[in-house]
Amino acid sequence: MSYSVVWFKRDLRLNDHAALTQALAHGPVLCLYIVEPSLWRSADAATQHFHFLLESLRDLYLEFKRRGGRLHVVCGEAVEVLDKLYALQPFHTLHSHQETGNALSYTRDRNVAHWCRTHAIPWRQSQHFGVTRGLKNRDLWKDLWDQYVGQPCLPAPATIPCMALPWTEPALPTAADLGLDRAEPTQRQRGGRTLAQQVLDSFLNDRSQQYRGGISSPLSAPTACSRLSAYLTFGCLSLREVVQATTLQLKALSPAHAWHKKGLTAFVSRLYWHCHFIQKLESEPEIEFQNMHRGYDGFRENDWNPAHFEALKAGKTGWPMVDACVEMLRETGWLNFRMRAMLVSTAAYPLWLDWRPVGHWLARQFLDYEPGIHWSQLQMQSGTTGINIPRIYNPIKQAQDHDPNGIFVRRWLPAMRRVPDTWLLEPWKMPHSLQVQHNVYVGQDLGLPVVELEASTRTAKQKLYALRGQPQVRAAKREVVQKHGSRKRVTTSKQKPVSAPASQQQTLDF
Ligand SMILES: Cc1cc2nc3c(=O)[nH]c(=O)nc-3n(C[C@H](O)[C@H](O)[C@H](O)COP(=O)(O)OP(=O)(O)OC[C@H]3O[C@@H](n4cnc5c(N)ncnc54)[C@H](O)[C@@H]3O)c2cc1C
């Protein structure tokens, strides 16, 4: 029987699933998710990602079942699986969403494309997110994003006529079989569309009232933020449906709810950033490995300090706010934007660590790891994009501003509970007599900072500004802005939106 294959990737839902909808218009389908061992061996893969995936697949499987269909989850390399399937039961078309993933999934996609060409199988890839494949001109991007999110969401099919797999698949591998580490955050979010919808509803109807004013402090952020990132990364929700649900909610709120409306508007701008950042990796996959601005090559790479990296990963830098964030991440798999930025900035400036190994470590820590956002942000917070004004977060000031009473650091660092309020920000400076009185000792219960913060940050800034000031580095900036910079739309006297001048663009990401 003639049929097409729908290859599910990071789009684990039936609603607003363009690839499935297209395929069903041409007859029966065989729906496939492929667990690819080579991808799970990657330095950015973690057990929490695998378990979240399995939870999401389980939910999707039940959705299929309710519609008389079936999702097949198989283990193997994509080309080998497709080849075996084609040999046993030839299909006429392959459907999937476009994927902007890491270098491994990119190479895998090129191999699949080659296989399809060799077998004269058309591979129809539908647009995913508001990301444009083959984008020629960044100036057009905002309009393309608007168009994409404005199109109606596709309903989930009422029934799904499905083909069966022509073999019996053995049990799926475990995380350990795939070579993944055993440890995972005990308090991480769980996968699946059912939970994703609950999180979206609770955010739009209630929690988003705290979005404005609540997203910066790690105390309020876990509830004030939407917490949708992992569900977007795994595609349990489509970006478009989240944008449209938010727009509806915005329309439903009366002007009396101005604060709430401002929060929801700010949230929609983050959804725009989501795609804006993924577009960078889509347009230039090399930024996973190479400095976005090549003038920064050699900037930190040759000064790698393993002791600094180990202290950071172990949550033993000595700066309570940094160490508490590392602990929270280990337990929950999530941190708010500001604390992520502070972690990377601390790694990049006072600890002077290259963004690549830090990025791989954090990719495994973040449940919502999305390569396009992640690597762009790693570079941005490390100052290697060359187009963003460097933001250097001082962890002591962050504690002062966002955890003045030490509630956060005491939650995650038990020894801090014995430190009196006066010494919360710089506990290593506590006089010995007080250490004895409170039974909390520097060098034993509390770490000494790995470097002197002020001096090391000053040195880092000097190096950065010396490089930024070099004529050839300044000259090469324009090209990066042209390719990746955000375009603020300004209005001319004729009311025609145009891109902001390059000098303004660099500040517009945040
Ligand atoms: C170093 C670093 C690495 C990051 N890595 C990732 C990552 O791998 N995956 C990821 O989804 N986000 C990443 N972010 C962005 C941001 O921190 C998270 O999206 C956010 O904390 C997720 O929580 P939320 O869904 O509650 O966010 P909300 O504030 O509710 O935002 C809603 C959605 O908008 C998008 N978004 C929010 N902030 C940003 C941003 N600054 N840039 C791009 N998109 C954004 C996300 O999809 C998010 O789910 C990173 C930020 C930094 C500084």
| Residue finishing a domain among 97, 123, 150 | 150
**CA 441 to centroid of ligand 1, rounded, Å:** 37
Q: Check whether 484 has a pLDDT greater than 90.
A: no
Q: Last residue of a domain, which of 94, 123, 150?
A: 150
Considering 97, 130, 150, which residue would you say is the last residue of a domain? 150
Residues with Cβ within 8 Å of residue 333, at least 6 apart in sequence: 48, 184, 185, 187, 188, 189, 230, 365, 366, 367, 368
Task: Compute, in angstroms, the gap from residue 447 CA to the centroid of ligand 1.
Answer: 30
- For every residue of 4-73, DSSP letters joined together read EEEEESS---STT-HHHHHHHTTS-EEEEEEE-HHHHTSTT--HHHHHHHHHHHHHHHHHHHHTT--EEE
In terms of phi and psi (left: phi > 0; alpha: psi -120 to 50; beta: otherwise), the region of 443 is: left
Q: Residue 161 pLDDT > 80, yes or no?
A: yes
DSSP letter at 167 equals S
Q: Is residue 480 part of a domain?
A: no
Q: Do both 307 and 430 map to the same domain?
A: yes
- Ligand 1 site-directed mutation target among 279, 373, 380, 381, most atoms within 8 Å of CB: 373
Domain that includes residue 101, residue range = 4-150
Question: Do 376 and 455 fall into the same domain?
Answer: yes
Decide: 361 in ligand 1 pocket, CB within 6 A: no
**Tokens (6 digits) for 170:** 């053995």
Q: Is 226 in the pocket of ligand 1 (CB under 6 A)?
A: yes
CA distance 402 to 399: 5
CATH of residue 349's domain is 1.10.579.10
Q: How many domains does the chain have?
A: 3
Is the pLDDT at 179 greater than 70, yes or no? yes
Residues 6+ apart with CB under 8 A from 444: none
Least confident of 45-49, 137-141, 325-329, 436-440: 137-141
Do 231 and 304 lie in one domain? The reply is no
Same domain, 328 and 414: yes
For ligand 1, the distance from its centroid to the CA atom of residue 337, given in whole angstroms, is 6
Among 306-315, 470-479, 500-509, which is the least confidently predicted range? 500-509
User: How far is it, in rounded angstroms, from Cα 330 to Cα 186?
Assistant: 8
Q: Based on the domain organization, do 298 and 271 belong to the same domain?
A: no
Give the Cβ contact number of residue 47 at 10 Å: 19
Verify that 450 and 301 share a domain, yes or no: yes
pTM for this one? 0.95
Q: Is the pLDDT of residue 487 over 70?
A: no
The two three-digit tokens of residue 174, written as one number: 């475990």
Residues 122 and 254 in one domain: no
Q: What is the DSSP string of 264-320?
A: HHHHHHHHHHHHHHHHHHHH-GGGGTS-SSGGGTTSSGGG--HHHHHHHHTT-SS-H
Ligand 1 centroid to Cα of residue 365, in Å, is: 14
Shared domain check, 392 and 302: yes
272 lines ligand 1 (CB under 6 A): no
> Are 211 and 78 in contact, with CB atoms under 8 Å apart?
no
Task: For residue range 239-260, list pLDDT tens digits in order.
Answer: 999 999 999 999 999 999 999 9
What separation in Å is there between the alpha carbon of 158 and the centre of ligand 1? 33
The enclosing domain of 144 has a CATH number of 3.40.50.620
User: Residue 320 domain-assigned?
Assistant: yes
Give the bridge partners for 71, in sequence order: 31
Q: Is 265 part of any domain?
A: yes
Let me know whether 19 and 143 are in one domain. Answer: yes
Atom 48 in ligand 1: which residue has the minimum CA distance?
A: 229
395's CB contacts (< 8 A; 6+ apart) are: 319, 321, 322, 342, 346, 453
Mean pLDDT for 19-43 is 97
Sequence letter at residue 148 = Y
In a domain, 486, yes or no: no
Q: What is the pLDDT of residue 389?
A: 85
299 and 410 part of one domain: yes
Specify if 288 maps to a domain. no
The alpha carbon of 497 and the centre of ligand 1 are apart by a number of angstroms equal to: 28
434-444 per-residue burial string, b: 16 or more CB within 10 A, e: under 16: ebeeeebebee
Q: Is residue 200 a contact partner of residue 242, using CB atoms and an 8 Å limit?
A: yes
The answer to the question of residue 491 being in a domain is: no
Do 267 and 298 share a structural domain?
no
Pocket of ligand 1 contains residue 379 by CB under 6 Å: no
* Domain co-membership, 244 together with 319: no
Instruction: Check if 229 has its Cβ closer than 6 Å to any atom of ligand 1.
Output: yes
Domain membership flag for residue 156? no
Is 222 contained in some domain? yes
DSSP-derived letter for residue 174 is P
